[in-house]
Amino acid sequence: MNSSRRSAARNVVVGVGGGIAAYKACALVRHFTEAGHNVHVVPTESALRFVGAATFEALSGNPVHTSVFESIPDVLHVKLGQQADLVIIAPATADLMARAAQGRSDDLLTGTLLTARCPVLFAPAMHTEMWEHAATRANVATLRARGATVLEPARGRLTGKDTGAGRLPEPDEIGTFGDLLLSRADALPRDLEGRTVVVSAGGTREALDPVRYLTNRSSGKQGYALARVAAQRGATVTLIAGNTMGLADPAAVDVVRIGSARELQAAMSEHARTADLVVMAAAVADYRPGEVAATKLKKDADGHSAALETVTMIENPDVLAGLVAARARGELAARSVIVGFAAETGDADCTVLDYGRAKLKRKGCDLLVLNAVGDGRAFEVDENAGWLLGADGSEAALSLDSKTVMASRILDAAVAQIGAPR
Ligand code: CTP
């Protein structure tokens, strides 16, 4: 688990369907055991054709069964289901979801699903045609209507040479949603279905010459978490990604890569035009070198470079303020919500909150996520804390939690404002 905080031990059942992605369930099991949870793996018979029971037993530290006729005195399907705090099915094959949607109980895993009363998370993996088939669509709708969370699969390379929607999201990403369900104890809402969301994330890079650039300490993790959670709440999401130190693309999100603040500005104005929600989580360089050298800036014979010793900087556009102004001119949807971020340190004159309130006014956005930085807080780490300030004067503290939980809370506030009169 990425998080430095270990949560209280919970009972997690990892159900494994019979698909090639079954091997990725091994990393998912580790995600939960390393967090200190008690994990039981329940594979289907066909899952065991891909990964052996010994692997799952070694990784989970618990015995592995597939049938209700094993360990009969324990009445396993009842015990596992009743004791579970979370059931995750990964990979959830088309057949497994069909059986779950029908309420069948023809093996230990489907029996466990019927006895479980905790959050249930399906992470589907199958070929695009199977995922898009009307039967699967209906089964997914049924499972969601009954309160299960069914993740959107990732797009990309499938088993063969084909690509499309149907890839299993990465184990860490599935694990993150499992952690979220353990903390919320209810399904992920689909309240962004039919909505378009644009999120910027990471640091901009301002070139000095073909080799060097100036950037900042933003890792992009909070913006990526926002894009990831918005997509799984049903939104069509575009992530405008700057420098992120190699974060994996979130499942079911279109990623547009940018370098400089001006590239970010161009991408944002293009994609924000029709968006319901615009989130500026990117750390934008306020200034850029006035000149970008066409060739590498070299040191002279004395070992000095006048060009590098004195770099003249010029101001970058304020992308967030520009988006707010564009909305006022009618160039963005009037119903849209614009969220800004602020990373502040307090000083002798003002507190972090004072600076945040002033920034919210100056930028004119609807919501501002305010983080106190310094001493290893906010940047590059997996957890975050701060305040959510609203243009309507509302102020809510965001207690220290994972960036996924934080994303979820920010989206709760933003969803409540979409369509509000401005
Ligand atoms: N932002 C932006 N364009 C800029 C600078 C910042 O769109 N040129 C956005 C950021 O994405 C963030 C918000 O404005 O959502 C606040 O960023 P921050 O760097 O804290 O604010 P600045 O305007 O740069 O103010 P200062 O550095 O003086 O605190």
Q: Which of 135, 161, 183 is the last residue of a domain?
A: 183
* Residue linked to tokens 């010459």: 209
pLDDT confidence of residue 243:
95
Whether 332 maps to a domain, the answer reads yes
Q: Which of 124, 153, 183 is the last residue of a domain?
A: 183
Q: Which of 125, 150, 183 is the last residue of a domain?
A: 183
326 and 397 share one domain: yes
209 and 320 share one domain: yes
**Angle 11-13-14 from CA coordinates, rounded to 5°:** 140
Type of residue numbered 377: R
Q: Is the pLDDT of residue 329 over 60?
A: yes
**Angle 38-40-45 from CA coordinates, rounded to 5°:** 170
Q: Is the pLDDT of residue 3 over 50?
A: no
Q: What percent of the chain has pLDDT over 70?
A: 97
Distance from C-alpha of 122 to C-alpha of 119, rounded to nearest angstrom: 10
Q: Please tell me if the CB atom of residue 261 comes closer than 6 angstroms to any atom of ligand 1.
A: yes
Whether 119 maps to a domain, the answer reads yes
Whether 72 maps to a domain, the answer reads yes
Q: Are 107 and 135 in contact (CB under 8 A)?
A: no
Show the domain range for 346.
196-417
Active site residues: 216
129 and 212 share one domain: no
CATH number of the domain enclosing 61: 3.40.50.1950
The arithmetic mean of pLDDT across residues 14-32, rounded, is 98
Global pTM?
0.94
Q: Could you report the per-residue pLDDT of 230-251, keeping only the tens digit for each?
A: 999 999 999 999 999 889 999 9
pLDDT confidence of residue 2:
41
Q: How many domains does the chain have?
A: 2
CATH number of the domain enclosing 272: 3.40.50.10300
Q: Which residues pair with 199 in a beta bridge?
A: 239, 279
Distance from C-alpha of 307 to C-alpha of 135, rounded to nearest angstrom: 65
Nearest CA to ligand 1 atom 4: 318
Whether 228 maps to a domain, the answer reads yes
Question: What's the chain's average pLDDT?
Answer: 93
Q: Is the pLDDT of residue 4 over 60?
A: no
Q: Is the pLDDT of residue 184 over 60?
A: yes
Q: Please tell me if the CB atom of residue 284 comes closer than 6 angstroms to any atom of ligand 1.
A: yes
pLDDT confidence of residue 5:
46
63 and 113 share one domain: yes
Q: Is the pLDDT of residue 345 over 60?
A: yes
The packing angle between helices 94-102 and 134-145, to 10°, is: 50
Give the Å distance between the CA of 231 and the centre of ligand 1: 25
The arithmetic mean of pLDDT across residues 223-229, rounded, is 98
Q: Please tell me if the CB atom of residue 280 comes closer than 6 angstroms to any atom of ligand 1.
A: yes
Q: Is the pLDDT of residue 187 over 50?
A: yes
Structure-model confidence comparison of residues 76 and 328, the more confident one:
328
